[in-house]
């Protein structure tokens, strides 16, 4: 992408309305635009990051055996009356009437709709296990939308729903998602800690919130420090092997970790003092086994091997990709701007032409741009006539992991400068060596 042809509305001023650093940086980097309270348009740079996050999530969901679908945003009130949640949900639900006065709603989640699909098509234990997910916009009329896309009213959610014959199989499905989540967050460069969460009337211990530590987080959390050094499960973990999954889950639930609501002072105090972490955290994902809560009232039943019909056991598994964009920035930035992990950077490389219009720098930049692009690398080529200082500031603000700085002085000696955003390190390299260095 040539910056001169791109749409990157950078703000030089620090926006006053933004209270936390991720919100400020997303506005300054031209990633989002507020359209009304808690409702945002995603501008090109933001959209790129959001898409990359969704793709990592998608790859790990697919690897675990979940299957992607797409359900609508608008749902019928009648569907929600079947589960009894239409009245329970309260003011967070945006209720709409169509031209025929039919009551509709903008979905805050999709348990009812997924259960309806299962009820229509899934009849036998032989059709199970099943896990269907989608990545779709949700609307919740939050009392206090704030912190930009961290707590917005319209937000993107990956929500998966598992369907199984009985509790034992539902636990295997739960563990698959647990492991997939550990891998997903690790690939996004995050240390997300699974913390026991409330199960309400369902009971049991199959509800975990995945939390990353950040001073601006909304929840107070307590955990063992060793979580911060645990290695995520490998890419080749066998999702069809229940024992391997259970081992991983056991390892990740063996140490203390809880949010304020589930905090147990005595258990926390039992941790050696030097290993106690008491901090603030951001919830980036939530997995939950809810058994027959929807399948029973809605009549989603399958015939078991014994010929007896019974309601299916289900769970739901959410991740907020739009919140994640902000959460990743909270976890990875400095005074100059965002520091994207490579896996989700909007562009992996910035090529900075320090003297656009100069025949030598133009030619060198064009070559780098063409060759990197040909190798499948996302490049933002700053071909504008801004001053060098402003180009450096922009590249750092928007967090490009690799920056190739091409100036007339260096080129005269046949070299360019390669800067790494993560640690600010710089190397001077011959022009033809820089591509291999980036691809290493
Ligand atoms: P919270 O406790 O933060 O209000 P929740 O418990 O209501 O979230 P879930 O219903 O578990 O959220 O939704 C799954 C995921 O969707 C959350 O883990 C979070 O990543 C994301 N999410 C939920 N609400 C919002 C929101 N208002 N804005 C952005 N993302 C959200
Ligand atoms: Mg939650």
What pLDDT was estimated at residue 390?
Answer: 97
How far is 171 from 175, CA to CA, in rounded Å? 6
Q: Clarify whether residues 249 and 371 are in a common domain.
A: no
Q: Clarify whether residues 372 and 316 are in a common domain.
A: no
What confidence tier does 203 reach under pLDDT thresholds 50, 70, 90? Answer: confident
How far is 254 from 311, CA to CA, in rounded Å? 32
Q: Is pLDDT above 90 for 93?
A: yes
Q: Clarify whether residues 286 and 401 are in a common domain.
A: no
What pLDDT was estimated at residue 205?
Answer: 87
What confidence tier does 120 reach under pLDDT thresholds 50, 70, 90? Answer: very high
Q: Clarify whether residues 371 and 432 are in a common domain.
A: yes
Q: Which is the closest atom of ligand 1 to the Cα of 159?
A: 14
Ligand 1 pocket, mutate which of 138, 197, 286 (most atoms under 8 A from CB): 286
Domain of 254, CATH number, reads 3.30.930.10
Ligand 1 pocket, residue 283 CB under 6 Å: yes
What confidence tier does 15 reach under pLDDT thresholds 50, 70, 90? Answer: confident
Q: Clarify whether residues 192 and 283 are in a common domain.
A: yes
Q: Clarify whether residues 398 and 259 are in a common domain.
A: no
Q: Clarify whether residues 132 and 272 are in a common domain.
A: yes
What confidence tier does 198 reach under pLDDT thresholds 50, 70, 90? Answer: confident
Q: Which ligand is in closest contact with the Cα of 210?
A: 1
- Count H helices and E strands in the chain, helices first: 14, 23
Q: Is pLDDT above 90 for 149?
A: yes
Of 187, 195, 197, nearest to 231 (Cα)?
A: 187
Residue at token pair 């002085």: 409
How far is 171 from 271, CA to CA, in rounded Å? 28
Last residue of a domain, one of 292, 307, 338: 338
What pLDDT was estimated at residue 200?
Answer: 83
**Atom 16, ligand 1: which residue's CA is nearest?**
320
β-strand partners of 224: 276
What confidence tier does 363 reach under pLDDT thresholds 50, 70, 90? Answer: very high
- Per the prediction, the chain carries an average pLDDT of 97
Q: Which is the closest atom of ligand 1 to the Cα of 108?
A: 10
- Expressed in angstroms and rounded, the spacing between residue 212 Cα and the centre of ligand 1 is 14
Alpha-carbon distances of 201 from 175, 243, 253, 289, rounded to whole Å: 21, 28, 22, 11
Ligand 1 pocket, residue 156 CB under 6 Å: no
Ligand 1 pocket, residue 287 CB under 6 Å: no
Q: Which of 7-16, 121-130, 175-184, 218-227 is the least confident region? A: 7-16
Ligand 1 pocket, residue 38 CB under 6 Å: no
Last residue of a domain, one of 291, 319, 338: 338
What pLDDT was estimated at residue 41?
Answer: 98
Q: What angle do CA 245, 246, 250 make, to 5 degrees?
A: 120
Ligand 1 pocket, residue 184 CB under 6 Å: no
Longest CA span, the chain = 81
Q: Clarify whether residues 323 and 356 are in a common domain.
A: no
Domain of 418, CATH number, reads 3.40.50.800
What average pLDDT does this structure show over 139-165? 97
Of 91, 127, 135, nearest to 110 (Cα)?
A: 135
pTM here is 0.97
Ligand 1 pocket, residue 134 CB under 6 Å: no
Last residue of a domain, one of 338, 368, 388: 338
What pLDDT was estimated at residue 201?
Answer: 82
> What does the pLDDT look like over 323-350, one tens digit per residue?
999 999 999 999 999 999 999 999 999 9
Q: Clarify whether residues 361 and 331 are in a common domain.
A: no
Q: Clarify whether residues 207 and 351 are in a common domain.
A: no
- Expressed in angstroms and rounded, the spacing between residue 109 Cα and the centre of ligand 2 is 12
Ligand 1 pocket, residue 217 CB under 6 Å: no
**Atom 11, ligand 1: which residue's CA is nearest?**
286
> Which residues have CB atoms below 5 A from the ion given as ligand 2?
286
What average pLDDT does this structure show over 397-419? 97
**Atom 23, ligand 1: which residue's CA is nearest?**
320
What average pLDDT does this structure show over 360-370? 98
Ligand 1 pocket, residue 208 CB under 6 Å: no
Q: Are 125 and 302 in contact (CB under 8 A)?
A: yes
Beta strands in 181-254 (DSSP E): 192-196, 207-213, 219-224
Question: Domains in the chain: how many in total?
Answer: 2
- Expressed in angstroms and rounded, the spacing between residue 138 Cα and the centre of ligand 1 is 10
β-strand partners of 160: 133, 317
Q: Clarify whether residues 333 and 362 are in a common domain.
A: no
Ligand 1 pocket, residue 318 CB under 6 Å: yes
> What does the pLDDT look like over 36-68, one tens digit per residue?
999 999 999 999 999 999 999 999 999 999 999
What pLDDT was estimated at residue 58?
Answer: 98
Q: Which is the closest atom of ligand 1 to the Cα of 145?
A: 27
- Expressed in angstroms and rounded, the spacing between residue 27 Cα and the centre of ligand 2 is 26
What pLDDT was estimated at residue 199?
Answer: 87
Element (H, E) at 1: none
Domain that holds residue 130: 3-338
What average pLDDT does this structure show over 13-26? 93
What average pLDDT does this structure show over 235-247? 97
Q: Which two tokens stand for residue 316?
A: 């739901």
Q: At what angle do helices 321-331 and 21-28 cross, to 10 degrees?
A: 100
**Atom 1, ligand 1: which residue's CA is nearest?**
283
Q: Clarify whether residues 196 and 294 are in a common domain.
A: yes
Q: Which is the closest atom of ligand 1 to the Cα of 320?
A: 20
What pLDDT was estimated at residue 14?
Answer: 86
Ligand 1 pocket, mutate which of 157, 190, 259, 328 (most atoms under 8 A from CB): 157
> What does the pLDDT look like over 242-279, one tens digit per residue?
999 999 999 999 999 999 999 999 999 999 999 999 99
**Atom 28, ligand 1: which residue's CA is nearest?**
151
Q: Which two tokens stand for residue 279?
A: 């901090």
What average pLDDT does this structure show over 408-418? 97
Percent of residues, the chain, with pLDDT higher than 70 = 100
Ligand 1 pocket, mutate which of 137, 155, 200 (most atoms under 8 A from CB): 155
Residues 6+ positions from 117 with CB-CB distance below 8 Å: 71, 132
Ligand 1 pocket, mutate which of 181, 283, 289, 330 (most atoms under 8 A from CB): 283
């Amino acid at each position: 992408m040539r910056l001169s042809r791109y749409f990157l509305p950078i703000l030089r001023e620090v926006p006053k309305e933004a209270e936390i650093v991720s919100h400020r940086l997303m506005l300054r980097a031209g990633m989002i635009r507020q359209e009304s309270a808690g409702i945002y348009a995603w501008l090109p740079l933001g959209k790129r990051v959001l898409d990359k996050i969704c793709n990592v999530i998608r790859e790990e969901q697919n690897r675990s055996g979940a299957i992607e679908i797409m359900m609508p945003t608008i749902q019928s009130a009648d569907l929600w009356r079947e589960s009894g949640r239409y009245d329970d949900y309260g003011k967070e639900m945006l209720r709409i009437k169509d031209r025929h006065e039919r009551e509709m709603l903008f979905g805050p989640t999709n348990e009812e709709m997924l259960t309806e699909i299962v009820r229509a098509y899934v009849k036998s234990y032989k059709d199970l296990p099943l896990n269907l997910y989608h990545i779709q916009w949700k609307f919740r009329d939050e009392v206090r939308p704030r912190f930009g896309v961290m707590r917005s009213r319209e937000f993107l959610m990956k929500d998966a729903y598992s369907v199984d014959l009985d509790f034992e199989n539902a636990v295997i499905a739960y563990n698959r998602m647990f492991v997939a989540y550990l891998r997903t967050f690790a690939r996004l460069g995050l240390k997300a800690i699974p913390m026991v969460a409330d199960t309400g009337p369902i009971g049991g211990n199959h509800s975990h919130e995945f939390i990353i530590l950040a001073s601006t987080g909304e929840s107070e959390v307590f955990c063992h420090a060793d979580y911060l050094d645990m290695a995520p499960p490998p890419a080749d973990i066998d999702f069809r092997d229940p024992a391997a999954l259970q081992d991983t889950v056991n390892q990740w639930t063996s140490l203390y970790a809880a949010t304020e609501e589930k905090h147990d002072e005595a258990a926390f105090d039992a941790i050696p003092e030097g290993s106690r972490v008491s901090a603030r955290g951001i919830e980036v994902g939530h997995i939950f086994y809810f058994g027959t809560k929807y399948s029973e009232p809605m009549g989603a039943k399958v015939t078991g091997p014994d010929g007896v019909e019974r309601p299916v056991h289900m769970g739901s598994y959410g991740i907020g990709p739009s919140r994640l964009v902000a959460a990743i920035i909270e976890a990875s930035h400095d005074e100059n701007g965002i520091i994207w992990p490579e896996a989700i950077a909007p562009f992996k490389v910035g090529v900075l032409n320090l003297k656009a219009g100069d025949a030598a720098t133009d030619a060198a930049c064009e070559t780098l741009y063409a060759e990197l692009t040909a190798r499948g690398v996302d490049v933002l080529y700053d071909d504008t006539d801004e001053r060098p200082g402003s180009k450096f500031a922009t590249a750092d603000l928007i967090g490009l992991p690799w920056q190739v700085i091409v100036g007339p002085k260096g080129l005269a000696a046949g070299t360019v400068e390669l800067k790494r955003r993560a640690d600010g390190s710089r190397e001077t390299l011959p022009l033809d060596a820089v591509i291999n260095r980036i691809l290493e």
